[in-house]
Amino acid sequence: MRSLAFNIVYWILSIGYGLTAAFAALAPGRRATTWVIRRYVRRMVQAMALFAGIRLQVRGKNHLPSGAFIVASKHQSWGDGFATYDQFDDLAFVTGDHLEKFPLLGTVLRKLGAIVVNSCGGHTARAALKERAADAHREGRKILIYPEGHLAKIGEKYRYRSGVWHMYRDFDMPVVPLATNLGLFWPQEESRKTPGVATLEFLAPIPTGLPKDEFLARLEAAIEGRTAELIAEATGRPVTAAVQVPTPSEVALAAATPA
């Protein structure tokens, strides 16, 4: 019943605030649209607690540096975006172009200054990421990116993509790893929800200037290591390292390639 109640409220909030944001997008600048979306996110986090029984605890905000920086987060749940966006006043986020399939959402994303890239990656996606992230950087905004590029199941991980390193190098911005266990309570895009206390934990920033391989290894170790600990903490089970699996695009490519 909790899951059903939350899912009903989810769609009521999404449709209501989505239409309001679309009208707000007609106004000059980002201010009106940002105001609407911030309230939408706050209401969704409240609904998670009230209807789904999923309460959030946030740790490590003392690690957040002053000025602009990049948040590189584990991505286990559709709720990750709500939970993280709610922690900041103005956050640019990297998202796949799959969200543009929803009516009017593409207009709202562009108005918000979201960094929309091709979900399959490649040179075109990298060029778009660089161009749109540069806009956010010029405005001094913090940027949220999911380095794996896809929602991962609990206990699994995908190859960490290099897009986050290119932003880190090009803009000379520190990167704050973000670990979470929210996927235990709201798995990926599933309608089923499990009550409990989910944790977001900001970790010590990775300083600027590291070479690509060292940076990506350090980022992955921080996110995956702490995420595994948060999962163990919530479940009472031993800490277990996530297993790397192929991405959906890699699976599709392998299926299409003749044996």
pLDDT (tens digit per residue) in 21-34: 989 988 888 889 99
By three-state DSSP, how is residue 59 classified? strand
Higher pLDDT, 173 or 129: 173
Distances (CA, A) of 145 to 94, 115, 128, 155, 167: 5, 9, 14, 20, 10
Query: Is pLDDT above 90 for 163?
Result: no
Nearest to 84 by CA among 72, 99, 96: 72
35-81 residue pLDDT tens: 999 999 999 999 999 999 999 999 999 999 988 899 999 999 999 99
Specify whether the CB–CB gap between 185 and 198 falls below 8 A: yes
Q: What is the pLDDT of residues 187-239, one digit of tens each?
A: 988 889 999 999 999 999 999 999 999 999 999 999 999 999 999 999 999 99
> Band of the pLDDT at 257, cuts 50, 70, 90?
confident
pTM (2 decimals)?
Answer: 0.89
Give the C-alpha separation, 133 to 239, whole Å: 35
Helix (H) and strand (E) counts for the chain? Answer: 8, 9
Amino acid at 59: R
Which two tokens mark 160? 């960490």
